[in-house]
A and B are shown apart, each in its own frame.
Chain A
Amino acid sequence: AQSVTQLGSHVSVSEGALVLLRCNYSSSVPPYLFWYVQYPNQGLQLLLKYTTGATLVKGINGFEAEFKKSETSFHLTKPSAHMSDAAEYFCAVRKNRDDKIIFGKGTRLHILP
């Protein structure tokens, strides 16, 4: 069965600093991996996804994530944090195209001025 573990329910970084949100997954087959962002009282917006091919995936708003099979990780990074990045971030995994998405518990990102 697929599962996702997000390390740190809360992460605080200073504006302009590197953002690193950690995600490890468990999957019996090569997974589809996603990062979503959720702003207060809103739905989820897809940041980026990995399906096949290049392991470094670039998404919207300057975010990127790298699929590391050997570490079963898919950490999300952004070189320079902006105040508008403050939100809840969810890592998610799916076994295949037709399977359901399993979400991690989420990490709330706080940006310090």
Chain B
Amino acid sequence: GAVVSQHPSRVICKSGTSVKIECRSLDFQATTMFWYRQFPKQSLMLMATSNEGSKATYEQGVEKDKFLINHASLTLSTLTVTSAHPEDSSFYICSARESAGERTDTQYFGPGTRLTVL
């Protein structure tokens, strides 16, 4: 149980294009999902907290207009990198926290999406 998926797992795009990454909780409902960014050989940096049905909360220094987050249902959150540039190339990881039950204190992580912007 508690599986989180991400799609796509890897994407290569041209500079200036937009890329959408999906994060799904497969066997549980997640009121809250989190989006992280990880540069090579570094830790995860929280970008934003996504709450179902409301606006995401962005961390300091993260451009909300560049990284659009939508959490339209209890099992899906999307991150759209708009007008991507090479410096946006990174490993993006989402996580989800169960809405109710015994596992509400644990975040479950997706497998990540490797974005390469040419």
Contacts and interface: CB of A to CB of B under 8 A. Distances in A.
A97 B43 CA distance: 21
Contacts, number: 45
Given A43-B112, A46-B107, 9 more contacts: A41-B112, A42-B112, A43-B93, A44-B95, A49-B105, A51-B105, A101-B95, A103-B44, A106-B43
A42 B104 contact: no
A105 B105 contact: no
Contacts of B93: 43-44
Interface residues of B, number: 21
Contacts of B44: 44, 90, 103
B42 A101 contact: no
Majority secondary structure of chain B interface residues (helix, strand, loop or mixed): strand
B19 to A, nearest CB: 18
B42 A97 contact: no
Interface of A: 32, 36, 41-46, 49, 51, 90, 97, 100-106
B108 interface: yes
A105 B42 contact: yes
A77 B44 CA distance: 22
A43 B111 contact: yes
A104 B34 CA distance: 17
A45 B97 CA distance: 14
B109 A44 contact: yes
Interface in B96-118: 104-112, 114
Nearest to B108: A46
